[in-house]
């Protein structure tokens, strides 16, 4: 379980995250939702341990994140960021194999490669394995990177998975396929999943809990059905709720 208490982040003198308390429980999928620039990615980086905080603390299983070594953390949590600036002609399989880096000394190459291929299969991308990564389309690149993150936690139980807009470039079929996989990971392997997703339909379908952010503050935090409510959505996104929520809710 990841517990964040009174997180404050300041970047360039501006408060980006303002006193946020949050828990990511194992076995649940938590979605961070909010408008552009509301601090979603920064909050996720805090929870993943890659963002220095001005005050407050983040603990994983009762120990502060800083108390873990990079190698220990790499076996307990994986992070998918939004951009993939890979300029060198690695193949897709080589990229996914990088996800096995934390296990390079403990598992043999054949075993790691086997896992990498399974991870590619999980995102429906086995056929891309020998393609050159920078030449893939945006959606294909995203699937390969998703496979890398899955490969990193492949044989782990109770790990944490952080996904920053994992479905932004995927077609509809792969969006649902991937998020269904993620939900299975949470249910069957007791993962704590934390993802940033803009599509509220996907959030309502796949997230157990929602953290609603506006201007760096937590507006609401709790079970999806309770948080995604027309008034809160209108307040946070400044659009009529009817535009973004399914009609049957009204």
Partner 1 sequence: MQEPKTGMSFVTKRTTVLFALGGSLLLGMIVAASIGAMPISPLSMLQGDLSAGHQAVLATIRLPRVVLTVLVGAALAVSGAAMQGLFRNPLADPGLIGISSGAALAVAVVIVVAGPASGVFGLYGLSIAAFAGGMITCMVIFRIARISSKAASVAYMLLAGIAINALAGAATGFLTFVSDDQQLRTLTFWTMGSLGQALWPLIAVVASVVIPAVILLICNARQLNIMLLGEQEAQHLGVNSERLKKLIVVCTALSVGAAVAASGIIAFVGLIVPHLIRLAIGPDHRILLPASALAGAVLLLAADTVARTIVAPAEMPVGIVTSLIGGPFFLWFFVRQSNQMETA
The footprint of partner 1 on this chain (CB under 8 A) covers a number of residues equal to 31
Nearer to partner 1, 112 or 224 (CB): 112
Find the shortest distance in angstroms from Cβ 98 to partner 1: 5
Question: Could you give the CA distance from residue 224 to residue 184 in angstroms, rounded to a whole number?
Answer: 18
Q: In terms of CB distance, is 76 or 174 closer to partner 1?
A: 76
Structure tokens at 246: 């399914």
Can residue 235 be called a binding residue for partner 1 (CB under 8 A)?
no
Tokens of 149: 């993150």
Q: Which is nearer to partner 1, 151 or 232 (CB)?
A: 151
Q: Using an 8 Å Cβ cutoff, are 29 and 195 in contact?
A: yes
Q: Of 21-29, 102-110, 169-177, 188-196, which part binds partner 1 (CB under 8 A)? A: 102-110
Report the nearest approach of partner 1 to the CB of residue 142 (Å): 14
State CA 210 to chain mean position distance.
13
- Per-residue CA distances from 156 to 175, 188, 190 (Å): 24, 11, 9
Q: Where are the beta strands (DSSP E) in 12-159?
A: 14-24, 29-33, 55-60, 63-64, 77-80
107 binds partner 1 (CB under 8 A): no
Round to whole Å and give the CA distance between 220 and 155: 34
C-alpha pair distances (Å), 174 with each of 99, 137, 167, 169: 21, 14, 8, 10
Restricting to residues 113-132, which ones interact with partner 1 according to CB under 8 A?
Answer: 130-131
Q: Does 67 bind partner 1 (CB under 8 A)?
A: no
How many Cβ atoms from other residues are within 10 Å of residue 247's Cβ?
A: 6
What percent of the residues of the chain are helix, what percent strand, and what percent coil, each to the nearest 5? Answer: 45, 25, 30
Q: How far is CA 171 from the centre of its chain?
A: 18
Chosen residue from 54, 71, 187, 239 binding partner 1 by CB under 8 A: 71
Q: Which of residues 11-40 bind partner 1 (CB under 8 A)?
A: none
* Tokens matching residue 57: 């603390």
Stretch near partner 1 under the rule CB under 8 A, chosen from 34-42, 74-82, 228-236, 242-250:
74-82
> What is the CB neighbour count within 10 angstroms for residue 127?
11
In the complex, minimum distance from the CB of residue 104 to partner 1, in angstroms, rounded to a whole number: 6
The residue within the footprint of partner 1, chosen from 13, 36, 62, 88 (CB under 8 A), is 88
Q: Which of residues 150-189 bind partner 1 (CB under 8 A)?
A: 152
Shortest distance in whole angstroms from residue 220 CB to partner 1: 29
Q: Which of 13, 36, 70, 231 binds partner 1 (CB under 8 A)?
A: 70
Kindly list the residues in this chain that would bind partner 1 in the complex (CB under 8 A). Answer: 48, 50, 70-71, 73-75, 77-79, 81, 83-91, 94-95, 98-99, 101-102, 104, 109, 130-131, 152
């Amino acid at each position: 379980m990841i517990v964040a208490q009174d997180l404050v982040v300041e970047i360039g003198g501006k408060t980006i995250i303002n006193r946020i308390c949050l828990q990511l429980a194992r076995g649940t999928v938590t979605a961070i939702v909010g408008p552009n620039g509301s601090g979603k990615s920064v909050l996720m980086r805090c929870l993943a341990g890659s963002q220095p905080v001005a005050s407050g603390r983040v603990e994983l299983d009762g120990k502060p994140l800083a108390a873990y070594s990079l190698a220990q953390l790499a076996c307990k949590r994986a992070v998918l960021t939004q951009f993939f600036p890979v300029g060198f002609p690695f193949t897709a399989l080589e990229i996914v194999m990088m996800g096995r880096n934390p296990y390079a000394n403990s598992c043999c190459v054949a075993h790691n490669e086997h896992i990498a291929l399974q991870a590619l299969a999980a995102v429906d991308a086995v056929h891309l394995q020998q393609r050159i990564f920078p030449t893939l389309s945006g959606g294909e690149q995203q699937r390969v990177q998703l496979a890398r993150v899955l490969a990193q936690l492949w044989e782990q139980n109770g790990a944490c998975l952080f996904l920053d807009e994992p479905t932004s470039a995927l077609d509809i079929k792969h969006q649902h396929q991937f998020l269904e996989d993620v939900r299975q990971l949470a249910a069957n392997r007791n993962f704590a999943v934390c993802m940033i997703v803009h599509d509220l339909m996907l959030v309502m379908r796949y997230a157990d809990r929602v953290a609603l952010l506006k201007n760096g503050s937590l507006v609401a935090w709790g079970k999806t059905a309770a948080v995604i409510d027309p008034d809160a959505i209108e307040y946070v996104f400044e659009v009529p709720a009817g535009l973004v929520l399914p009609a049957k809710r009204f």
